[in-house]
């Protein structure tokens, strides 16, 4: 367990790095943003000491999105990628045993979701979600296919950049984080109202995975490095529906 846990041990977040609840150019935030001032409450013992995840809760293919939904020996369609990085606490130390859950669109930009409105084809061998636990030094890794951009009804010609959603539980609920990872070099990043709701460029850049040729698997898959900070002044920006303190 991280030594950050314990009464009063958490460094306050720098709210200037995170998107506000109300970002007018991100249309749906107008309906769900709070109407009253936010309250700050002290953490409870349960928020500082749980949850705890064991490796036994994960299946053998949970971290392999290329195959974990596929039938038989089939594979998901699309460029194969490896995503890896380190989950860190507020002091920059690796967080062991953190649960990392991911979900994403397929290589055509379509989610496997009953309310999906985009006409791109579904891949019958791609479910679009997976999970893993960080190792003793806080490192995680999973395999997938490169997601594609897709249109969304925010404006007359709005497109989301290619991205992967992340949900993380550190050693305490007070380290809960939901965020998105983007890909280096994608010009749509800087046109996206969700991204532009983040007030600081350095915070946006913390959401952009870097191409990591040293970790690339030759003749197989490109690798992208995405490090995540769960708490503190340098916390990775969360989605604009903040959870926790």
Which pLDDT tens digit goes with each residue over 121-162? 999 999 999 999 999 999 999 999 999 999 999 989 999 999
Choice among 18, 110, 165, 231 that is catalytic:
165
Active-site annotation holds for 88? no
Average pLDDT, the chain: 88
Choice among 69, 111, 140, 182 that is catalytic:
111
Question: Is 177 part of any domain?
Answer: yes
Active-site annotation holds for 139? no
Q: Does 77 have pLDDT greater than 60?
A: yes
The predicted pLDDT at position 240 comes to 54
| pLDDT 10s digits, 152-180 | 999 899 999 999 999 998 888 778 899 99
The predicted pLDDT at position 243 comes to 38
Question: Is 215 part of any domain?
Answer: yes
The predicted pLDDT at position 53 comes to 67
Question: Is 214 part of any domain?
Answer: yes
DSSP string of the chain? --TT-STT-SPPP-GGGS--S--TTSTTHHHHS-SS-----PPPHHHHH-----GGGS-TTTTBTTTTT-STT---SS-EEEEEEEEE-TTS-B-TT-EEEEEE--TTS--S-TT----SPPPTT---EEEEE--TTSEEEEEEE----EE-TTSTT-EEPSEEEEEEE-SSGGG-EEEEEEETT-GGGGG-HHHHTSS-HHHHHTTEEEE-TTT-BTTTBEEEE--EE-SSTTPPPPPSS----
pTM for the predicted model, two decimal places: 0.88
**What b-and-e string marks burial along 93-103, b requiring 16 or more CB atoms within 10 Å of the CB?**
ebbbbbbbbbb
Question: Is 236 part of any domain?
Answer: no
| pLDDT 10s digits, 191-217 | 999 999 999 999 999 999 999 999 999
Question: Is 40 part of any domain?
Answer: no
Element (H, E) at 100: strand 99-104
Choice among 13, 17, 88, 163 that is catalytic:
163
The predicted pLDDT at position 36 comes to 82
Domain of residue 199, residue span: 23-33+48-229
| pLDDT 10s digits, 4-60 | 444 446 777 777 788 777 777 777 787 777 878 877 777 777 777 777 766 677 899
Question: Is 240 part of any domain?
Answer: no
Q: Are strands 208-211 and 177-183 parallel, antiparallel or unpaired?
A: parallel
Active-site annotation holds for 165? yes
The predicted pLDDT at position 22 comes to 75
Residue that is written with structure tokens 């490896």 in the block: 82
Active-site annotation holds for 160? yes
Active-site annotation holds for 176? no
Q: What is the spatial distance between Cα 82 and Cα 74, in angstroms, rounded to a whole number?
A: 18
CATH of the domain at 180: 2.60.130.10
Choice among 80, 160, 176, 231 that is catalytic:
160
**Per-residue pLDDT averaged across 213-240, rounded?**
92
| Domains held by the chain: number | 1
Question: Is 56 part of any domain?
Answer: yes
Percentage of the chain with pLDDT > 90? Answer: 64
Question: Is 224 part of any domain?
Answer: yes
Contact present, 106 and 77 (Cβ < 8 Å): yes
Choice among 26, 69, 140, 150 that is catalytic:
150
């Amino acid at each position: 367990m991280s030594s950050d846990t314990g009464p009063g041990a958490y460094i306050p977040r720098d709210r200037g790095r995170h998107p506000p609840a109300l970002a007018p150019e991100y249309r749906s935030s107008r309906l769900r943003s709070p109407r009253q001032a936010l309250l700050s409450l002290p953490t409870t013992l349960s928020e500082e000491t749980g949850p705890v995840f064991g490796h036994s809760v994960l299946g053998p293919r949970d971290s392999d999105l290329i195959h974990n939904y596929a039938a038989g020996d089939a594979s998901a369609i699309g460029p194969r990628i490896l995503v890896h990085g380190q989950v860190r606490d507020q002091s920059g130390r690796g967080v062991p045993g953190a649960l990392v859950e991911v979900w994403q669109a397929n290589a055509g930009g379509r989610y496997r979701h009953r309310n999906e409105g985009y006409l791109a084809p579904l891949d019958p061998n791609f479910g679009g979600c997976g999970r893993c636990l960080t190792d003793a030094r806080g490192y995680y890794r999973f395999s997938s296919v490169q997601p594609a951009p897709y249109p969304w009804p925010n404006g007359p010609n709005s497109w989301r950049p290619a991205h992967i959603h992340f949900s993380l539980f550190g050693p305490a609920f007070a380290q809960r984080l939901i965020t998105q990872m983007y890909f280096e070099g994608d010009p749509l990043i800087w046109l996206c109202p969700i991204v532009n709701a983040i007030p600081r460029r350095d915070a946006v850049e913390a959401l952009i995975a870097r191409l990591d040729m040293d970790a690339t698997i030759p003749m197989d898959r490109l690798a992208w490095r995405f490090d995540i900070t769960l708490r503190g002044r340098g916390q990775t920006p969360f989605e604009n529906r903040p959870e926790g303190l």
